[in-house]
């Protein structure tokens, strides 16, 4: 896995760049006037890019650290075999059926169907920005799975332990990355509807449970190591955070700005 060290170095450079950029903006914050390009936006709106990009950068760094641990045989990677063996030893017919169902839901076909349905419903309601967001996240996640599997080229668990036949590489888990990305962005889109708080809690918990269930199903079926799934979750989460942040920035810049006198004007 020669790309692991390069990926970790790139991740740390990204983090350093984010910290430096944030420091420059914060340092200039006191000099930002109400009529400046930045001063026209509400304080909360101005913070969105740094919160979102900070989350994305942090998740990407964590993912790179997981991959580096796998390459170096670190403590995280050392837990792969014991956790794999434990799941293989505790299989039952009922759990196997459940794992197969969850795996099917989180597969490429299942996530593609969810993406198409979500985009179609959003387009029907003319919520074009959200429709584009879902499509971009889904397609980007699919491309990242293909790219990273080829770069890392990690072997899957032993064939004798698998309950499914696969010819692709193991790291990261495409199911984990894809479900985190698609279910994550669909959850964000639903929360943007300003639904009741208890409904929001239900949506978040349901999405989280399904994402975790899909990831665990891949471990149970013996087709992935634990670090594969963890890396997939982290990379998928980073991609969602980055794309959602991009949408928020675009929306903030598309809204009419308000001057110090309270009059609206186009930026």
Q: Which residues contact 31 (CB under 8 A, 6 or more apart)?
A: none
Domain assignment present for 93: yes
Over residues 194-210, mean pLDDT? 89
Number of compact structural domains in the chain: 1
Domain assignment present for 260: no
Instruction: Give the pLDDT confidence of 222-257 residue by residue, as tens digits.
Output: 999 999 999 999 999 999 998 998 888 887 776 655
For residue 186, give its domain range: 3-254
Domain assignment present for 59: yes
Q: Considering the entire predicted model, what is its pTM?
A: 0.81
Q: What pLDDT score does 211 carry?
A: 96
Q: What pLDDT score does 44 carry?
A: 45
Q: What pLDDT score does 33 carry?
A: 44
On the question of pLDDT at 32 being above 90, the answer is: no
Domain assignment present for 261: no
Q: What pLDDT score does 136 carry?
A: 95
Q: Which residue has the higher pLDDT, 141 or 13?
A: 141
On the question of pLDDT at 83 being above 50, the answer is: yes
CA nearest 239: which of 26, 60, 119, 108? Answer: 60
On the question of pLDDT at 216 being above 50, the answer is: yes
Q: What pLDDT score does 210 carry?
A: 96
Q: Which residue has the higher pLDDT, 195 or 212?
A: 212
Query: Both tokens of residue 150?
Result: 């080829």
Residue 152, classified by CB atoms within 10 Å of its CB into exposed (0-12), middle (13-18) or buried (19+), is buried
Q: Which residue has the higher pLDDT, 147 or 265?
A: 147
Domain assignment present for 186: yes
* Least-confidence region, from 120-124, 164-168, 249-253: 249-253
Q: What mean pLDDT value characterizes the chain?
A: 82
Does residue 172 have a cis peptide bond before it, meaning omega lies within 30 degrees of 0? yes
Q: What pLDDT score does 200 carry?
A: 85
Q: Which residues contact 22 (CB under 8 A, 6 or more apart)?
A: 50, 54
Over residues 260-266, mean pLDDT? 48
Q: What pLDDT score does 259 carry?
A: 45
On the question of pLDDT at 5 being above 60, the answer is: no
d(CA 39, CA 259): 9
* Whole-number percent of the chain with pLDDT over 70: 77
Domain assignment present for 191: yes
Q: What pLDDT score does 18 carry?
A: 56
Phi-psi region of 264 (alpha: psi -120 to 50; beta: other; left: phi over 0): beta
Query: Both tokens of residue 261?
Result: 């006198």
On the question of pLDDT at 43 being above 60, the answer is: no
On the question of pLDDT at 198 being above 90, the answer is: no
Q: What pLDDT score does 182 carry?
A: 96
Domain assignment present for 42: yes
Domain assignment present for 149: yes
We report the CATH number of the domain holding residue 247 as 1.20.144
Name the range with the highest mean pLDDT among 68-72, 114-118, 168-172.
Answer: 114-118
Beta partners for residue 265, in sequence order:
257
């Amino acid at each position: 896995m020669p790309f692991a060290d390069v990926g970790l170095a790139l991740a740390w450079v990204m983090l350093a760049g984010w910290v430096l950029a944030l420091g420059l903006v914060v340092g200039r914050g006191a000099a930002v006037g109400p009529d400046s390009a930045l001063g026209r936006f509400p304080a909360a709106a101005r913070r969105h890019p740094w919160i979102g990009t900070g989350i994305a950068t942090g998740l990407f760094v964590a993912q790179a650290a997981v991959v580096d641990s796998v390459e170096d045989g670190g403590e995280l990677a050392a837990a792969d075999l014991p956790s794999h063996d434990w799941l293989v030893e505790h299989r039952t017919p009922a759990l196997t059926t459940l794992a197969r169902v969850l795996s099917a839901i989180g597969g490429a076909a299942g996530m593609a169907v969810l993406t198409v349905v979500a985009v179609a419903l959003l387009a029907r309601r003319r919520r074009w920005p959200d429709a584009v967001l879902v499509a971009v996240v889904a397609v980007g996640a699919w491309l990242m799975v293909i790219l990273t599997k080829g770069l890392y080229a990690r072997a899957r668990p032993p064939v004798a332990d698998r309950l499914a036949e696969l010819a692709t590489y193991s790291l990261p888990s495409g199911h984990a990355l894809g479900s985190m990305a698609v279910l994550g962005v669909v959850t964000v889109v639903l929360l943007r509807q300003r639904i009741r708080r208890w409904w929001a809690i239900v949506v978040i918990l349901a999405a989280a449970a399904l994402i975790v269930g899909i990831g665990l199903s891949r471990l149970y079926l013996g087709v992935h190591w634990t670090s594969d799934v963890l890396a997939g979750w982290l990379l998928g989460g980073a991609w969602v955070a980055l794309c959602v942040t991009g949408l928020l920035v675009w929306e903030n810049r598309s809204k009419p700005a308000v001057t110090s006198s309270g009059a609206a004007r186009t930026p």
